[in-house]
Amino acid sequence: MGILPHTSVEDALRLAFSLDIPFWPQLPKVSFYEDMYVQASEHLPGIIIDEDKKQISFSKDKFYEELPDYFEHIDDLDYFRLSPRYSLVYDAFLKNDLSPYYAVRGQLIGPVSYGLKITDEDKKPIIYDDEVRQFLYEFMSQKINVQYQELVKYNERAFVWTDEPGLGMIFMAMTGYSSERAREDYAEFLKTLSGPKGVHLCANPDWSFLLNLDLDIISLDALACGDVFICYREEIRGFLNRGGIIAWGITPTLDEQLSDITTSDLILKLESYWDSLAAVGIPKEQILAQAWLTPARCCLVNQDQSGVEKSFSMLREISQQLREKYKLF
């Protein structure tokens, strides 16, 4: 959800800082190193980045060769930090005064999505390799924690969430990584993370899996998946009672959707979800108090910068209207 189609760092930051909770943008149209999978690959043993072909692959032999160097740097926080080569925006984001904002957000691709996408010499996703998978979880945890430790210096309510589109796949019985094993691995992974724990995905997983994890924030594409999500009433009730925040992705980022829908339509859709949950005894005041609003899905799907700008504008308008209606100030 940090991805923007912008080619100007200044324009991207301006848009990011137009929200109550700003984020550092990823700009893959500027450089392949801005791709969220590439950014997470920095210093990962065994990884091969082919900038010309725009491909990332994995070599088990290279993995073993590079492990000694990795362990030499295991206590070096800068080793796990996002470097300027892998993000044109991150350092520029940190140069702003982040303290006045309600919170600030960082992000990293999650281990499940990364492990399902990146393949080895035999074109097998690396998450199927027990040894590599365990290492991948540990590596991603290190990178998330270092990013969080840096952001929290600038804003005490900073958090880093993981982008996990792949979580929708492991419940389809078509991968070599079972959902049972994923539950165990992900629960252990979350225990290693510092700060608030959040997951974002633009898919329909087994929502009970996520809602029952030790998570503080769940971000979903409510525009497309809200009807399914609200069916998990008891799990949502439990998540909210534990203090969890639901980030409802509601404004579309596709031009064809943006041209056919109004802020009033989107508010009605959101309220229909909330009213449905309130009808089964989840207090609407609690739903509102623990609700954030976001764009519905990855903004790179729309290559048009003006369309994404419109989506963010609609988001701010919806937020303001709901604040006024429910006196959320």
The burial class, CB within 10 Å (0-12 / 13-18 / 19+), for 302 is buried
Second CATH level (architecture) for the domain 9-41+79-326: Alpha-Beta Barrel (3.20)
Q: Which pLDDT tens digit goes with each residue over 210-261?
A: 999 999 999 999 999 999 999 999 999 999 999 999 999 999 987 777 888 9
130 residue type, one letter? D
Structure-token match 């392949």, residue found: 32
CA distances (Å), origin 115, targets 36, 120, 175, 277, 301: 13, 10, 11, 35, 22
Q: Which pLDDT tens digit goes with each residue over 6-53?
A: 999 999 999 999 999 999 999 999 999 999 999 999 999 999 999 999
Q: Cα separation of 237 and 219, whole Å?
A: 16
Q: What is the average pLDDT across 167-173?
A: 74
pLDDT of residue 254: 77
253, 296 in Cβ contact below 8 A? yes
Q: Which pLDDT tens digit goes with each residue over 80-135?
A: 999 999 999 999 999 999 999 999 999 999 999 999 999 999 999 999 999 999 99
CA distances (Å), origin 208, targets 182, 202, 230: 13, 16, 11
Q: Which pLDDT tens digit goes with each residue over 51-76?
A: 999 999 999 999 999 999 999 999 99
Measure the CA angle with vertex 55, ends 163 and 63; round to 5°: 80
- pLDDT bracket for residue 207 (50, 70, 90): very high
- Its sign, for the CA torsion 195, 196, 199, 205, is positive
The average confidence (pLDDT) of the chain is 93
Residue 303 has pLDDT above 90, yes or no: no
Structure-token match 């957000």, residue found: 105
199, 221 in Cβ contact below 8 A? no
pLDDT of residue 173: 57
- Element spanning 311, H or E: helix 305-326
pLDDT of residue 33: 96
184 or 178: whose pLDDT is higher?
A: 184
Q: What is the average pLDDT across 283-297?
A: 95
pLDDT of residue 175: 66
pLDDT of residue 174: 60
Residue 304 has pLDDT above 80, yes or no: no
Q: What is the average pLDDT across 196-220?
A: 93
Residue 176 has pLDDT above 80, yes or no: no
pLDDT of residue 91: 96
pLDDT of residue 104: 98
Residue 301 has pLDDT above 60, yes or no: no
